[in-house]
Amino acid sequence: MRHVIALDVGGTGMKAALVGPDGTLLHRARRATGRERGPDAVVNGILDFAAELDAYGQRHLGSSAAAAGVAVPGIVDQERGIAAYAANLGWRDVPLRALLADRLGGLPVALGHDVRTGGLAEGRIGAGRGADRFLFVPLGTGIAGAIGIDGRVEAGAHGFAGEIGHIVVRPGGTACPCGQRGCLERFASASAVGQAWAAATGDPDANAADCAKAVASGDEIARAVWQEAVDALADGLVTALTLLDPRTLIIGGGLAEAGETLFTPLRDAVRRRVTFQKLPAIVPAALGDTAGCLGAGLLAWDLLTPTDPSEVTT
């Protein structure tokens, strides 16, 4: 069966799949990145994992993969196929596309940024299917974004497009590792909500999921913590939709797992803030932790069936 290799590399683990032409996950696997052994070990682990996936496809699907796609965190030079920087993996300027292509016998390889790749999948085959313009915002340890335009995700001139987590929503507020103060992700990420709830309860182990449960049960202190995060998120999102005018706004990540505990007040908060802007549909992400693999698979298939010849990268 015709298939591609898809790899989604995270800070601590790698998810992988063999993906069919229609997006079907024909085989799935996981393993640790081995980052404690250093950046070279992480790269070698990726190459070994990809080769093992290809061998599995030859044995069980009757053919080698037609292409491969890999999504990685950090700063990605997608055009040149270089993983430029990832603090949590310890690497700089890794020519990952060329290394993978060589390991896989000259196979076409696509390299993408993890959030933009997940957004590509959500936009094409997930919650944004059918939308010509969408914004995907995962709320996790930090907050990132993927700007979808006509089935593609915009990387920007330097690979930084979509960094909505660093919109300043509270000028002079909490310091951010990026060097600014008052960034959105310091108030509305899952980690920020967890820290605020831990401080409010005096329980250092409390997290955002605990806060969401307390909100659902009617706890007034939890509601105040939660509403502060929702208001900050709405401020950031309205700035983004003013600039981008998306048709669909897709919210994912750990905080979105709270369901309507998040979405009901968030929709209300955004609605109160818009004036001339058109209110987009605000929906939860649909693909969960498979989005990265599916997006990497889509990048690989795009190498074989590009809509624009200039977009072919091998």
Q: What is the pTM of this model?
A: 0.90
CA distance 213 to 69: 38
CA distance 164 to 144: 6
Residues contacting residue 99 through CB under 8 Å, at least 6 positions apart: 43, 47
Phi-psi category of 124—alpha, beta or left, where left has phi over 0 and alpha has psi -120 to 50?
alpha
Q: How many other CB atoms are there within 10 angstroms of residue 226's CB atom?
A: 25
CA distance 278 to 281: 10
Looking at residue 306, its pLDDT comes to: 58
Check: CB of residue 220 under 8 Å from CB of residue 86.
no
Q: Among residues 122, 50, 39, 45, which one has the least CA distance to residue 83?
A: 39
Tell me the pLDDT tens digit for each residue of 168-201: 999 999 999 889 999 999 999 999 999 999 999 9
Looking at residue 308, its pLDDT comes to: 46
Looking at residue 88, its pLDDT comes to: 78
Query: Is the predicted pLDDT of residue 79 greater than 90, yes or no?
Result: no
Query: Is the predicted pLDDT of residue 244 greater than 90, yes or no?
Result: yes
Helix (H) or strand (E) holding 208: helix 208-216
Q: Three-state DSSP class for 313?
A: coil
Question: Encoding tokens for residue 63?
Answer: 């053919």
What's the mean pLDDT in 284-290?
94
| CA-derived radius of gyration, the chain | 20
CA distance 262 to 256: 7
